[in-house]
Amino acid sequence: MRQSTIGVWAGEEGPKDNGSSHLSIVARISFDYPSADEWADVALGLRPGHIYSRNSNPTVNVFEEKVRWLEEAEAATSFASGMAAISNTLGALLRPGDRVVSITDTYGGTHRIFTEFLPQMGISVELYDPIDEDSLERAIARGCRLVYLESPTNPTLKIVDLQKLADAAHTVGALVVTDNTVATPINQNPLKLGSDLVVHSASKFLGGHGDALGGAIAGSTELVTRVFRYREINGAALDPFAAFLLARGIRTLELRVARQNENALAVARFLESHRAVDRVFYPGLESHPNHDTAAKQMRGFGGMLSFTIRDTAGRGVTAFLDRLRLARKAASLGHVETMAGTPATTSHVECTAAQRAAMGIPDTLVRYSVGIENVADLIEDLQRALN
């Protein structure tokens, strides 16, 4: 099946009540069986079924199946949020004494895990600018347990060559985990580019409506099972109601992302031509330093972009944001409506101003997550606010 069909049909054989044609929310913690023997068989894994919703739940399984198919993976599992997916994956795969190599520009919460929480557990983390591919490759070649990647990065849309770094990692026996939240499985499949596991915040494009938090991972049965075993005990399970909303969102994922890809490119080209705009960061622009790598590994360039505005008075960014009418001033991205903000209040609110500066995130940067509106309306809105 192709992706738009997968979004609609994958996993849909899941639970239905009273002959209903559609997925039910199984709002139950535990599941009972007609006989103690059957219960024991399911509990011991001798036959399929559910015991307790921290471990598994039929509605949650439908969401997991959709992610598994979209990433063309052997297995997938889910979490209460994107950060739960990331922290549980790292928690399950790393041991004291391990070394992790990653990039300076991961999502703000991930950056905090790398700079604060993993070092507390005796795990060392080395972070490199994604643009500095040589240093990254040399650091990987020195040997490590895990390479953690994100492309495009949030908020400056840097691109790393996923296949090249996965090859470098596998040469030294390291695992590769890639956060595919910003690209979405519609535009990019890291597992096909050498990654061993892909992680998602489903709260963004997958759900797409900003009404449910969730996370997911996909990869080999062996690796996903290791992380699942950790999650079922550590407790970051996805709620069935959130899973229902996320599965409903995925039914329109391909349509939404196709529109967002188109809208974002048109908005990026408009911004590039406006005299009040200094720089535009979007991998679909020929002016992007890694446009060729992006074009090689992505089928579309995504719905998020960022730009800096000429801000001589020092008030430009907030004044500009306040004048936008068709953009929610709110954290998050990938929803049906356009959202705009600064990294200091969105992706990198967890970081200090000094850390943001070190990551090359200027104060005049605006992150703009393009929705599914008519792009002419968005461009008129930007034009008025910039003027």
Ligand X SMILES: *Cc1c(COP(=O)(O)O)cnc(C)c1O
The answer to whether residue 230 is catalytic is no
In three-state secondary structure terms, 7 is helix
Cα separation, 67 vs 367, in Å, equals 26
Does 156 bind ligand X (CB under 6 A)? Our answer is no
Helices marked H in 133-190? 133-141, 162-171, 184-187
Q: Shortest approach of ligand X to residue 293 CB, angstroms?
A: 18
Does 203 bind ligand X (CB under 6 A)? Our answer is yes
Q: How many residues bind ligand X (CB under 6 A)?
A: 15
Q: Shortest approach of ligand X to residue 109 CB, angstroms?
A: 6
Which residue number has the CB closest to ligand X? 82
Query: Restricting to residues 67-126, which ones interact with ligand X according to CB under 6 A?
Result: 81-83, 107, 109
Degrees to nearest 5, angle at CA 216 with 57 and 201: 130
Does 190 bind ligand X (CB under 6 A)? Our answer is no
Q: Which is it for the CA torsion 67, 72, 73, 74, positive or negative?
A: positive
Applying CB under 6 A, which part among 30-38, 184-192, 199-207, 337-345 lies near ligand X?
199-207
Q: Which is it for the CA torsion 149, 231, 209, 247, positive or negative?
A: positive
Phi, psi of 279 (to 5 degrees): -135, 145
In three-state secondary structure terms, 329 is strand
Does 238 bind ligand X (CB under 6 A)? Our answer is no
Contact of 42 with 87, CB cutoff 8 Å: no
Applying CB under 6 A, which part among 196-204, 225-233, 242-250, 321-329 lies near ligand X?
196-204
Residue whose C-alpha is closest to residue 25's, from 58, 68, 67, 55: 58
Does 179 bind ligand X (CB under 6 A)? Our answer is yes
Does 215 bind ligand X (CB under 6 A)? Our answer is yes
Q: Shortest approach of ligand X to residue 343 CB, angstroms?
A: 11
Which of 80/379 has CB closer to ligand X?
80
Residue whose C-alpha is closest to residue 167's, from 127, 136, 188, 132: 136
Residue type, position 212, single letter: A
The answer to whether residue 204 is catalytic is yes
> Which one-letter DSSP state was computed for residue 220?
-
The contact mask relative to ligand X for 345-364 (x = CB under 6 A, - = no) is --------------------
Query: Restricting to residues 35-64, which ones interact with ligand X according to CB under 6 A?
Result: none
Give the HSE-up count for residue 203: Cα atoms under 13 Å, Cβ half-sphere.
Answer: 17
Phi, psi of 148 (to 5 degrees): -115, 120
Helices marked H in 252-339? 253-272, 291-297, 316-323
Catalytic residue among 33, 41, 52, 54: 54
Applying CB under 6 A, which part among 10-18, 33-41, 177-185, 260-268 lies near ligand X?
177-185
Does 181 bind ligand X (CB under 6 A)? Our answer is yes
Q: Shortest approach of ligand X to residue 279 CB, angstroms?
A: 21
Cα separation, 281 vs 98, in Å, equals 34
Q: Shortest approach of ligand X to residue 73 CB, angstroms?
A: 18
The answer to whether residue 356 is catalytic is no
In three-state secondary structure terms, 366 is strand
Binding residue (CB under 6 A) for ligand X from 213, 258, 264, 326: 213
Q: Shortest approach of ligand X to residue 252 CB, angstroms?
A: 19
Catalytic residue among 179, 196, 239, 381: 179
Q: Shortest approach of ligand X to residue 312 CB, angstroms?
A: 31
Which of 253/379 has CB closer to ligand X?
253
Take residue 32 and report the two structure tokens written for it.
């009972």
Residues that bind ligand X (CB under 6 A): 81-83, 107, 109, 150, 154, 179, 181-182, 201, 203-204, 213, 215
Catalytic positions, written as ranges: 54, 107, 179, 204
